Chain A
């Protein structure tokens, strides 16, 4: 069974750093792109970027380029999303999700989400 299990909710202050995780299981982690999606409170879905864990090829949405860093550790089947200096506007639910593979760039499996709250 394919599973993506994300790290728990975080409460941080503006200016702090943060790294959240997404552990994949039940499939070949290195063979499928994993993406990150932001959902701000009461709002829609925003595609942030993707990583191919096999070779760490990474692509970012122009809206998020330079604002976050996506990485992966294939030895432990885990993808990461990190911030060096959080802002209140980063408060959101963040989902990781796996692409279908073979040119199927839709998300067929999703993590449960990690709620990030940034408040002074």
Chain B
């Protein structure tokens, strides 16, 4: 299995400040034939199911605010919230979908307001 490791486990950020979450895969999730990174990001608010934010490592899902952005390639990825809003308090997960036999999630990063 591809192991996904997120850091930090949690972070507290002031309203309007930047939040940065890291995700590292144990092997590359870049598919060379199409040059796409098979990496998605989800947001899960308390008591709700996860919600897709980003796919192909950097493509925002329709309706997702542009303060959310994804970057990285190969094995190292980042989710950035450029200006944290109160409604962004949630746990964020990365997921690789390169290995379709066994898709795997990162352990999650909890984002809180400082």
Tell yes or no: B15 within 8 A of A by CB.
no
Contact mask for chain B residues 73-114; partner A; CB cutoff 8 A; 1 contact, 0 none: 000000000000000000101010100111111111000000
Count of interface residues, chain A, beta-carbon cutoff 8 Å: 21
21 contacts between A and B (CB under 8 A): A37-B50, A44-B108, A45-B44, A45-B93, A45-B95, A45-B108, A47-B103, A62-B1, A95-B49, A97-B49, A97-B50, A100-B55, A104-B55, A106-B40, A106-B52, A106-B55, A106-B95, A106-B97, A107-B40, A108-B55, A111-B49
- Inter-chain contacts of B44 with A (CB < 8 A): 45
- Decide if B55 touches A110 in the complex (CB within 8 Å): no
- Decide if B103 touches A44 in the complex (CB within 8 Å): no
- Inter-chain contacts of B42 with A (CB < 8 A): 45, 107
- Inter-chain contacts of A110 with B (CB < 8 A): 49-51
Contact among A37, A95, A105, A112 for B100, CB-based, below 8 A: A105
Interface size class of B (residues with CB under 8 A): 20 to 34
Report the minimum CB–CB distance from A80 to chain B (whole Å).
Answer: 18
A47 to B97: give the CA distance in the assembly, Å.
11
A72 to B14: give the CA distance in the assembly, Å.
46
